[in-house]
Amino acid sequence: MNSGKMNIFDLEFDELKNEINKLGEPVFRAKQVWQWIYQGADSFDNMTNLSKALRDKLKESFYIGGASIVERLISKKDGTRKYLFALRDGKVVESVLMRYRYGNSVCLSTQIGCRMGCSFCASSKLGMDRNLSVGEMVAQVIAIQNDTGQRVSHIVLMGIGEPFDNYDNVIKFLRRMNQEDTLNISYRRMTVSTCGLVPEIIRFAKEEFPVNLSVSLHAPNDEVRRSIMPIARKYPFDKILTACHIYTQQTGRRITFEYTLINGINDGNEHAKELGERLSGLLCHINLIPVNTVEESGYIKSDNKRVDDFKKIIEGYGLPVTVRRELGSDISAACGQLRKKSVESDRMVD
Ligand code: SAH
């Protein structure tokens, strides 16, 4: 339980400065502490350039992180790692580390559970519990860096939860990760994915940072979309497209559309044509993802030929399309396979 202490990662630098000032210590102490925590120190006792008295005072007010690894699964196929984190209140959340030639990419959760209810996605199955704090997101990235001994170079917010349903924390988190005195991760190496929350897409367009945006479309029209994504009832297809046009005009940046291919549901030639027509002329890229298995849904992946045909039709509209490589499926770490767990934090495995 929380014991009234603050997660030190929930604080901006100025806030930490004030707190340390309240303890009767000068600003440069705050700088030292800040440096330690972003270099991965996981205990105040390791902060050897601080006096024992100050370390004790810090311990009384703060804890570092608030996300500890309780389980780590490593894919035999591709080295992808799935982490189960325990938070201070006993809740757990999953995130994934993917290793690419160009660096280490973390696919991070932004909420405990999800209330969007997409029928193909495991993250919705147990409903929504709460948002993650900025500090809990930061703590996941730093714990993963500590665990691998390697720098995280890319962040994608495609784990559990709808990032735009936790908008303010997500934006603060991205800004924090970009700061030179934290992890210094370039905005261009960050991606936020949304199931299509229109007001937040427009807000995001105005943030004036070059973070990539992905929109999970999964259908070429409202009828198909509503049958698999309840949020489509709130935000119709046309409104999403308008918001996407605003985004590309405002930022000059390409948008990525995620399209999960589900056999017999949204993968017909007629769907591909309609999608091509709707998206043609928009500065975008389409990412096709043959649906990953989620026990409850009963959906089946489109076969390779279907995926190829679907891809070719869209290419015929002059739109760039790729098929997403599947990583970590043997440890249920692939897209849509992360879910809120109800286990408690006593399952330390190596
Ligand atoms: N809520 C956000 C981010 C989380 S999901 C969003 O909806 O975009 C990350 C991506 O995985 C989304 O495009 C999502 O639609 C997709 N996805 C979910 N379940 C999937 C499944 N079973 N197979 C393949 N992709 C899936």
Buried b (16+ CB within 10 A) or exposed e, 257-269: bbbbbbeebbbbe
The average pLDDT across 18-45 equals 95
Categorize the per-residue pLDDT at 341 as very low, low, confident or very high, splitting at 50, 70 and 90. low
Q: Is the dihedral of CA 36, 39, 42, 48 positive or negative?
A: negative
Q: Please, where in the chain does CATH 1.10.150.530 lie?
A: 6-63
Does 194 sit in the ligand 1 pocket, CB within 6 Å? yes
The average pLDDT across 129-150 equals 96
Task: Give the residue among 86, 108, 87 at the shortest CA–CA distance from 97.
Answer: 108
CB 123 within 8 A of CB 161: yes
Angle between helices 27-38 and 13-22 (to 10 degrees): 130
Return the pLDDT at 280: 94
Out of 3.40.30.10, 1.10.510.10, 1.10.150.530, 1.10.10.10, select the CATH number for domain 6-63.
1.10.150.530
Residue 36 amino acid letter: W
12 is catalytic: no
Return the pLDDT at 127: 87
pLDDT in tens, 193-219: 999 999 999 999 999 899 999 999 999
CA of 131 to the centre of ligand 1 (A): 18
Q: Is the dihedral of CA 222, 225, 230, 231 positive or negative?
A: negative
Answer whether residue 327 shows pLDDT above 90: no
Q: Which atom of ligand 1 is nearest to the CA of 336?
A: 19
- In whole angstroms, how far apart are CA 255 and each of 45, 78, 159, 182, 296? 45, 28, 19, 27, 31
CA of 159 to the centre of ligand 1 (A): 8
Categorize the per-residue pLDDT at 349 as very low, low, confident or very high, splitting at 50, 70 and 90. very low
Q: Which atom of ligand 1 is nearest to the CA of 292?
A: 23
Answer whether residue 340 shows pLDDT above 80: no
Answer whether residue 347 shows pLDDT above 70: no
CB 81 within 8 A of CB 73: yes
Average pLDDT, the chain: 92
Q: Whole-angstrom Cα distance, residue 49 to residue 126?
A: 46
* In the chain, % of residues over pLDDT 70: 95
Return the pLDDT at 268: 98
Q: Please, where in the chain does CATH 3.20.20.70 lie?
A: 68-349
Tell me which of 19, 25, 71, 94 is the catalytic residue: 94
Return the pLDDT at 326: 73
pLDDT in tens, 49-84: 999 999 999 999 999 988 999 999 998 888 899 999
Categorize the per-residue pLDDT at 350 as very low, low, confident or very high, splitting at 50, 70 and 90. very low
Q: Whole-angstrom Cα distance, residue 128 to residue 124?
A: 7
Q: What is the pTM of this model?
A: 0.93
Does 297 sit in the ligand 1 pocket, CB within 6 Å? no
Going by CATH, does the domain composed of 68-349 fall within 3.30.70.920?
A: no
Categorize the per-residue pLDDT at 346 as very low, low, confident or very high, splitting at 50, 70 and 90. very low
Tell which wins on pLDDT, 271 or 102: 271
